[in-house]
Amino acid sequence: MTTDVMPASTVTRGVDTVTRSLAAIAGVVLLLMLVLTVGNIGLRLVASPYHGTFEIVGLLAVIVNGFALAEAQRSKSHIAIDLVMSRLSMRLQLYVGALVTAVSVVLFGLLAQQLVSYGMNLRDQGAVTESLRLPYWPFSLALAAGVAGLALALLNDLGAIRRSLRSSTPESIW
């Protein structure tokens, strides 16, 4: 009996593509924030500034931060404190890492689902920003997409931990 499971390298490449795409979008939005902020400062010197710059930059920051989460996880650019973990055997480190990663996948999966639900509630209520009257809900959905990307990256890490545990010489994936 054969299984139709994709090879780990194919899944990893797919996850890498998703995380890099989200990070690229975050980078473009960050540049947009920069242009908007610098343009607003320039206009303050010669004329009147853009109306609602603070709102727009704040909303764009949601996209930047949300879309950067998955790439930060994939590239391990987050902070880890391993005072206890470094004293454990490699195999035990992997088991603890698997548990923490599995709980994180569930947590961020639920968070993504709740952000979608919250976004739909915001849409149904017609919630908008104070001065520009921009709808909030698309930004909640964008954040949900970023958090879902993080859950996907964590799920990929869980697969890497599993492969390392099955190996005769387990190695750290961190």
pLDDT for residue 60: 98
The rounded mean pLDDT for the chain is 91
Cβ contacts of residue 13 below 8 Å, gap of 6+?
A: none
Helices 8-46 and 137-166: angle between axes, nearest 10 degrees: 150
What is the DSSP track for the chain?
A: ----PPPHHHHHHHHHHHHHHHHHHHHHHHHHHHHHHHHHHHHHHHSPPPTTHHHHHHHHHHHHHHHHHHHHHHTT-S----TTGGGS-HHHHHHHHHHHHHHHHHHHHHHHHHHHHHHHHHHHHT-B-TTT--BSHHHHHHHHHHHHHHHHHHHHHHHHHHHHHHSSS-----
Report the alpha-carbon distance of residue 145 to residue 157 in Å, rounded: 18
State yes or no: pLDDT of 24 exceeds 70: yes
Taking the C-alpha atoms of residue 162 and residue 165, their distance in angstroms, rounded to an integer, is 5
Quick one: pLDDT at residue 10? Answer: 86
At 78 the pLDDT is: 76
Q: What is the pLDDT of residue 2?
A: 47
What is the mean predicted confidence (pLDDT) over 156-161? 93
- pLDDT for 150 beyond 90: yes
The pLDDT confidence band at residue 7, using thresholds 50, 70 and 90, is low
155 half-sphere exposure, CB direction, 13 A CA radius: 17
- The domain limits of the chain are 8-166
Which pairs with CB-CB distance under 8 Å and at least 24 residues apart come from 39-44? none
* CA-to-CA separations, 60 to 33, 44, 134, in angstroms, rounded: 7, 21, 12
Dump pLDDT digits (tens) for 61-84: 999 999 999 999 999 887 777 788
Query: Does residue 141 contact residue 63 with C-beta atoms inside 8 Å?
Result: no
